[in-house]
Amino acid sequence: MAENEVWIFAEQEDGVLNSVALELTGKARQLADELRTKVGAVLLGYHCEALAKELAAHGADTIYLADHPALRYYRTLPYARVICDLVREHRPQIVIYGATVVGRDLAPRIASELWTGLTADCTDLQIGDYDDPFTSRHHDQILYQIRPAFGGNVIATIVGPNHRPQMATVREGVMKLTPADNHRPFQTIPVTPRITDAEEVVEIIERHRTEREVDLRKAQIIVSGGAGVGSKEGFDLLRELANVLGGAVGASRAAVDAGYISKAHQVGQTGTTVRPRLYIACGISGAVQHRAGMQESSKIIAINTNPDAPILSMAHYAIIGDLNQVIPMMIRAYRGH
């Protein structure tokens, strides 16, 4: 038994790891180094043992592999059963999950069964000490679970000093993917799942997959539009610029809510977190919830008619003007005529 490790839930589907699993492995490595402990990755599925090497390359020391036909596709009860049993046996101090559809379903169930806390959608995780003002107890090296609260107006640091494991979810794209080292040594611990009829109450009869309409996380250039675009047709101009630059089209929530473009394109706190090389914000005011999803972009160009729009003060290049005039000029300039 290896107590006090830092664990991540290695979400996979059809033998492919979700990118957030690798991002979290890198973060767990950093936390574990600070805590002088090991990183464990919990990998559940069927015929998925080949993924262990990928997790190790990103920082995992131990892969807890539960390979079983009942775990082929995600189902809440069998997955929760296996992870709860593993946590009880090995007693990690921290478990992190991706804030994906699966992670958001699984982590709360585990937290409730293990009687521990869970902080959703963390934007940072750090290790630090904590003096509890209620019990006057000092806690060494616990997990700071950091996330925006109250609509992004405060950044809250949440701690769970009295229960283990400390658990958090983190959205895709928030933690940086660390480079892979394919020569890192690792150990795989096979796990025999203890799944009873009680966990098998849901049967998967058919599966339908819808491919992502757009994968903003992978785009190096994003041309994003807000309420200022004014209409669904207005987005054609942004698509044209994105095509010329070889980029993807993003949007603010106001543009999505107005029906100009689908939710898959939304950037921000409740959309996708992106960090492209170039982010062009067109007719977006720069509300804190939007900025939360794009402020890590390497270069930001903002086009806005209002010189006081908050987005302009965070942009590397601020263009004060009407997007309907500025974007065609940019397209012409990039095309060279």
Q: Which x/- pattern, by CB under 6 A, does the window 220-239 give for ligand FAD?
A: ------xxx-----------
Nearer to ligand FAD, 18 or 304 (CB): 304
Nearer to ligand FAD, 25 or 273 (CB): 273
Q: 30: exposed, middle or buried (C-beta count within 10 Å: 0-12, 13-18, 19+)?
A: middle
Whose Cβ is closer to ligand FAD: residue 126's or residue 270's? 270
322 is a site residue for ligand FAD (CB under 6 A): yes
Cβ 14 to ligand FAD shortest distance, Å: 28
User: Interface with ligand FAD includes 165 (CB under 6 A)?
Assistant: no
Closest by Cα among 271, 258, 206, 253 to 231: 258
In angstroms, give the least distance from the CB of 303 to ligand FAD: 5
User: Smallest gap, in angstroms, from Cβ of residue 186 to ligand FAD?
Assistant: 37
Contacts of 142 (CB under 8 A, 6+ apart): 127, 128, 129, 130, 159, 160, 161, 166
Using CA atoms, how far residue 64 sits from 185, 196, 233, in Å, is 15, 20, 50
Looking only at residues 236 through 255 of this chain, which bind ligand FAD when binding is defined by CB under 6 A? 252-255
Q: Which amino acid is at 34?
A: E
Please state whether the peptide bond connecting residue 165 to the residue before it is cis, i.e. omega within 30 degrees of 0. yes
Per CB under 6 A, 78 contacts ligand FAD: no
CA neighbours closer than 13 Å in the CB half-sphere of residue 166? 22
CB distance 5 to 34 below 8 Å: no
Contact code string over 262-291 relative to ligand FAD, x by CB under 6 A: ----xxxxxx-----------xxx-x-xx-
Residue with the two structure tokens 């973060």: 27
* Shortest Å distance, C-beta 325 to ligand FAD: 8
Closest distance of CB 311 from ligand FAD, Å: 7
Q: Which residue, 54 or 121, is less far from ligand FAD as judged by CB? A: 121
User: What dihedral do alpha carbons 87, 92, 94, 99 form, nearest 10°?
Assistant: -30
Residues that bind ligand FAD (CB under 6 A): 151, 226-228, 252-255, 266-271, 283-285, 287, 289-290, 293, 303-306, 309, 322-324
